[in-house]
Amino acid sequence: GICFGMQVLNVSRGGTLIQDIVSQVQGAIEHEQGAPRDSPSHRIRLLEESRLASLAGRDGAVVNSHHHQAIETVGRDLVASAWASDGLVEALEDPRSDRFVLAVQWHPELGWERDPLSQALFSRFVSEAGQYAQTTHSQLVHARQSSG
pLDDT of residue 92: 99
Three-state secondary-structure class, residue 53: helix
State the pLDDT at residue 85. 96
What pLDDT score was predicted for residue 148? Answer: 65
Domains within the chain, CATH numbers bracketed: 4-147 (3.40.50.880)
Among 69, 94, 98, which Cα is nearest to 81's?
94
Identify the helix (H) or strand (E) that includes residue 84.
strand 79-84
| Half-sphere CA count of 72, side-chain side, radius 13 A | 13
User: 30, 68, 109, 142: which one is catalytic?
Assistant: 109
30 among known catalytic residues? no
Determine the pLDDT at residue 139.
75
What is the C-alpha separation between 73 and 79, in angstroms, rounded? 10
pLDDT in tens, 139-148: 777 777 887 6
> How far is Cα 1 from Cα 116, in angstroms, rounded to an integer?
18
Task: Tell which residue, 25, 6, 18, has the closest CA to residue 92.
Answer: 6
135 CB contacts (<8 Å, ≥6 apart)? none
**Cα(148)–Cα(134) distance, integer angstroms:** 21
Is 107 noted as a catalytic residue in this protein?
yes
At 42-94, the pLDDT tens digits run: 999 999 999 999 999 999 999 999 999 999 999 999 999 999 999 999 999 99
Give me the catalytic one of 3, 67, 90, 93: 3
Which residue in the list 31, 42, 67, 107 is annotated as catalytic? 107
Return the bridge partners of 61, or none: 44
Peptide bond before residue 108 is cis, with ω within 30 degrees of 0: no
Tens-digit pLDDT profile for residues 4-41: 999 999 999 999 999 999 999 999 999 988 778 888 88
Q: What local confidence, expressed as pLDDT, does residue 142 receive? A: 72
49 is catalytic: no
